[in-house]
Structure 1
Amino acid sequence: MHIEKNVCDSIIGTLLEIPEKNKDGIAARLDLLNMGVKTDLQPEYGERRTRLPLGPWNLSRAEKREVCNSFYGMKVPEGYSSNIKNLVSLQDSRLLGLKSHDCHTLMQQLLPVAIRSVLEKPARYAITRLCFFFNAICAKTVDVSKLDKLEEDVVVTLCLLEKYFPPSFFDIMVHLVVHLVREVLLCGPVYFRWMYPFERYMKVLKGYVQNRTRPEGCIAERYIAEEAVEFCTQHLSDVSTVGVPSSQKMGVSKPLSGCTVSVVDQDLLNQAHLYVLENTEEVLPYIEQHMIHIKTAYPKFRKRTKWLQDKHNSTFIQWLRFKVQSELEEDNHGVSENLRWLAAGPNMAMPLYRSYLNKGIKFNIKAQDDVRTTQNSGVYLLAHTMQVASAKDKNPILSNMGFYGVIQEIWDLDYQKFTIPVFRCDWIDSSGLVVDELGFTLVDLSKIGHRNDQFVLASQVKQIFFVDDPMHRGWSVVLSMPNREYNDVIGDEVLGDVIIECEPFTRGMPNVDTFDELVGELGGQNIRGGCEDIWIE
């Protein structure tokens, strides 16, 4: 944890030239001269000031502003980290007041995005490789067979950093990165051993202090009082535990705020109702029967999969209602009560919410995020669906496909006896989705597709968030929310992360053998061309 913080401080301090954290300077340049390496970066002394040529690790003033503006504009999900905007000083282009967990989130995901458009490729990709390593080493699930390869890759990564950074950058903390893989091999996953939960709890204990001359007594007295009340609540029904907000309990699914009841459009209601039916296990046999019915009624279209699917979508709701009614009229019908209410359809007066809590994760609609400093409206869905090559493709295939969207409305479908929460989302069209050479997924949020299939169950999506890509204007980088369900257990085994295949951090680092081909070389010259120099009074 502290190795990650110190390495992050060194990288940020060197790139943005933050005093007392910058590993570059006159002494570092003289070390290069004494060792006989990169002699073209030696300081040039003048009468009043000293000139330092810009090295591969230095940013120009415009690049520093660009990096800080990128951090300043980032909105992350609630509970992901502190507000990044408060850590940025735009006046002097610096990051100030970084805590341990802030450095953790920067090194895991945010820093590789912020530096995408600055530095030259070799130096930038070397830093990105180091960020990929920290993300892989902190994963909740670790493949032991890949640890040896991961250790080899981080050694090469540090060697690449030595090519593009001054020797003063490589203190003991950077050296200790090499030993982290062996520590995981001996001790297990990192999250069992880091100090973030204890530091968060220390903040809770500090909040108990009312008399600063007797802090220990305040903490002990308040702790004993809460423990006694919690013991009493175990013998009472419908009483929440003291000190644990209900909105943060894992496994809880409920609406949070902003309920408005309105009559929704009938076409959208049918679309949401159809999605619920197709994702209900009791309805699956009826879907097969309906497809057989369509093929029998329209024998000319038996081989046109897309036409059959469209016909099924437009007629299934009404067919199911009549089918269930006919079965209910029989004496020995096998229709369950849930299926009966599902076939009857939902109420048109729909409760709409601004926020919804599902398994400890808070989801907001886009309009709610626009007035907040957090971003909780991004969702990702991995679905087994029909894929077509073009609009004229008559023989689509079924396969797994990832969808990225933004929540526009949160509905609570009312089936009289129970309710089912669904999200109406704007899904990104396939033309607005690309994956770059490092594995980053880029989306164009203005390209909306899948207008006829906007809904998804709240239990099916994973939360993601979008960060503006500084390299391509109008595009956003997709980043995932880490899984925090530490209390989800089966027996004694802790459930691992649900891996989003599109994330570069789950794919691993770029191949070491092709790294030089991917980024190119500096051409034997260490001075950055076209950039202003550093002047020291």
Structure 2
Amino acid sequence: MKVLKGYVQNRTRPEGCIAERYIAEEAVEFCTQHLSDVSTVGVPSSQKMGVSKPLSGCTNTEEVLPYIEQHMIHITTAYPKFRKRTKWLQDKHNSTFIQGLRFKVQSELEEDNHGVSENLRWLAAGPNMAVPLYRSYLIKGIKFNIKAQDDVRTTQNSGVYLLAQTMQVASAKDKNPILSNMGFYGVIQEIWDLDYQKFTIPVFRCDWIDSSGLVVDELGFTLVDLSKIGHRNDQFVLASQVKQIFFVDDPMHRGWSVVLSMPNREYNDVIGDEVLGDVIIDCEPFTRGMPNVDTFD
């Protein structure tokens, strides 16, 4: 009723005022849904904004899947002594796949009727070695911050959760790990935007919580110790693969935080499954050379 009363400018004809104001608001809302480059009234736009359309990444693109399978077959054939050592074969694949993909794509491009798409060509060529870093990144209506950005704000947007298929071993001597889904909890430390000339791919460098810093209490809540960092040799993840979570200090257990997740807001992807859509960057970027991943401690 308060809203409707606010529509009344002429008290002698309240019904007419309400009807006219309601029709005007409905018309404006309808137009904003069908007009491009229109900002919402009353919501200030950022002064530092960029737009890009990144893909979902190399190993998750359907075009690359056949090359992954071929490379695994090649490794198994080239190293028959390690055929039963699943972990060794996977590590070998991870360390040599990019070089193998680049060589395979270049060979196919030399043929007259090759089926190599432009996206696959740029993926095989690799990204620009000058990598812009960002403090914030907005993807599908969800804002992600680096930890340093959260430290100076009252809000928190740096927690992420990743459900990945990984190899689990019973002990350090176990040479036949089991493939299964496993959840990882982390905090974003850096946001990279890999430039492949024709498109960009955002990736997060995260501090992932070690398994020793993860417990589930008797009520079913997941508790993490943010000081116990693990997986230092595998810190990067595609921005499209993670889900945003929040860490709340546990008043009952000092040093532990409760993991909370919120349902993602509705987002209409009109471009397609392989494209994230318009990604709005709100930050002050700076560049640095891309280091070797293996150099991280």
Structure 2 length as normaliser, TM-score? 0.76
Q: Which residue of 2 aligns with 1:219?
A: 18
Does the CA contact (< 8 Å) of 2:50 and 2:280 recur in 1? no
Shift of 1:382: 1.2
Does 1:205 find its partner at 2:4?
yes
Q: Describe the superposition over 1:406-450 as per-residue Cα deviations: whole angstroms up to 9, x where unpaired.
A: 111111111111111121111111111111121111111111111
Does the CA contact (< 8 Å) of 2:55 and 2:200 recur in 1? no
319-328 or 230-239, which deviates more: 230-239
SS in 1 for 2:66: helix
Higher strand proportion (structure 1 or 2)? 2
Q: Which residue of 2 aligns with 1:456?
A: 237
Q: Describe the superposition over 1:510-537 as per-residue Cα deviations: whole angstroms up to 9, x where unpaired.
A: 999999xxxxxxxxxxxxxxxxxxxxx9
Shift of 1:320: 1.0
* Distance change (3 Å), C-alpha of 1:363 and 1:457: same
Q: Describe the superposition over 1:185-215 as per-residue Cα deviations: whole angstroms up to 9, x where unpaired.
A: xxxxxxxxxxxxxxxxx99889999999999
Q: Which residue of 1 aligns with 2:288?
A: 507
Q: Distance in 2 between matches of 1:507 and 1:481?
A: 34
* Distance change (3 Å), C-alpha of 1:436 and 1:286: same
Determine which structure has more spread, i.e. the larger CA radius of gyration. Answer: 1
Does 1:317 find its partner at 2:116?
no
Q: Describe the superposition over 1:230-260 as per-residue Cα deviations: whole angstroms up to 9, x where unpaired.
A: 4555675433454577899999998999999
Q: Distance in 2 between matches of 1:239 and 1:315?
A: 47
* Distance change (3 Å), C-alpha of 1:480 and 1:338: same
Shift of 1:504: 39
* Distance change (3 Å), C-alpha of 1:493 and 1:310: closer
Q: Which residue of 2 aligns with 1:399?
A: 180
* Distance change (3 Å), C-alpha of 1:388 and 1:506: farther
Q: Describe the superposition over 1:496-518 as per-residue Cα deviations: whole angstroms up to 9, x where unpaired.
A: 99999999999999999999xxx
Does the CA contact (< 8 Å) of 1:250 and 1:485 recur in 2? no
Structure 1 length as normaliser, TM-score? 0.44
* Distance change (3 Å), C-alpha of 1:467 and 1:493: same
SS in 2 for 1:513: helix
* Distance change (3 Å), C-alpha of 1:219 and 1:365: farther
5 Å-filtered alignment, 1:77-116, equals none
Does 1:251 find its partner at 2:50?
yes
Does the CA contact (< 8 Å) of 2:53 and 2:277 recur in 1? no
Shift of 1:292: 1.7
Counterpart of 1:479 (choices 249, 260, 284) is 260
SS in 1 for 2:280: coil
* Distance change (3 Å), C-alpha of 1:512 and 1:285: closer
Q: Distance in 1 between matches of 2:251 and 2:20?
A: 52
Q: Describe the superposition over 1:382-408 as per-residue Cα deviations: whole angstroms up to 9, x where unpaired.
A: 112222223332111111111101111
Gaps of 5+ in 2: none
* Distance change (3 Å), C-alpha of 1:480 and 1:368: same
* Distance change (3 Å), C-alpha of 1:439 and 1:334: same
* Distance change (3 Å), C-alpha of 1:403 and 1:253: farther
Shift of 1:378: 0.6
Gaps of 5+ in 1: 1-201, 261-278, 516-536
SS in 1 for 2:144: strand
Does the CA contact (< 8 Å) of 1:467 and 1:479 recur in 2? yes
Does the CA contact (< 8 Å) of 1:440 and 1:504 recur in 2? no
* Distance change (3 Å), C-alpha of 1:217 and 1:252: farther
Does the CA contact (< 8 Å) of 1:304 and 1:394 recur in 2? yes
Q: Describe the superposition over 1:315-366 as per-residue Cα deviations: whole angstroms up to 9, x where unpaired.
A: 1111111111011111121211111110000111112211112222211111
Does the CA contact (< 8 Å) of 1:464 and 1:481 recur in 2? yes
484-493 or 392-401, which deviates more: 484-493
Q: Which residue of 2 aligns with 1:467?
A: 248
Greater relative CO (CA pairs within 8 A, separation 6+): 2
Q: Distance in 1 between matches of 2:99 and 2:262?
A: 39
Does the CA contact (< 8 Å) of 1:468 and 1:474 recur in 2? yes
Higher helix proportion (structure 1 or 2)? 1
SS in 2 for 1:459: helix
SS in 1 for 2:50: coil
* Distance change (3 Å), C-alpha of 1:442 and 1:510: farther
Does the CA contact (< 8 Å) of 1:438 and 1:504 recur in 2? no
Does the CA contact (< 8 Å) of 1:422 and 1:456 recur in 2? yes
Shift of 1:472: 2.0
Q: Which residue of 2 aligns with 1:232?
A: 31
Does 1:297 find its partner at 2:297?
no
* Distance change (3 Å), C-alpha of 1:366 and 1:289: same
Q: Describe the superposition over 1:259-294 as per-residue Cα deviations: whole angstroms up to 9, x where unpaired.
A: 99xxxxxxxxxxxxxxxxxx2221111111111222
Does the CA contact (< 8 Å) of 2:137 and 2:281 recur in 1? no
Q: Distance in 2 between matches of 1:495 and 1:420?
A: 9
Q: Distance in 2 between matches of 1:378 and 1:230?
A: 34
Q: Distance in 2 between matches of 1:301 and 1:436?
A: 41
Q: Distance in 1 between matches of 2:290 and 2:85?
A: 43
Does the CA contact (< 8 Å) of 1:463 and 1:480 recur in 2? yes
Does 1:414 find its partner at 2:182?
no
SS in 2 for 1:506: strand
Q: Which residue of 2 aligns with 1:373?
A: 154
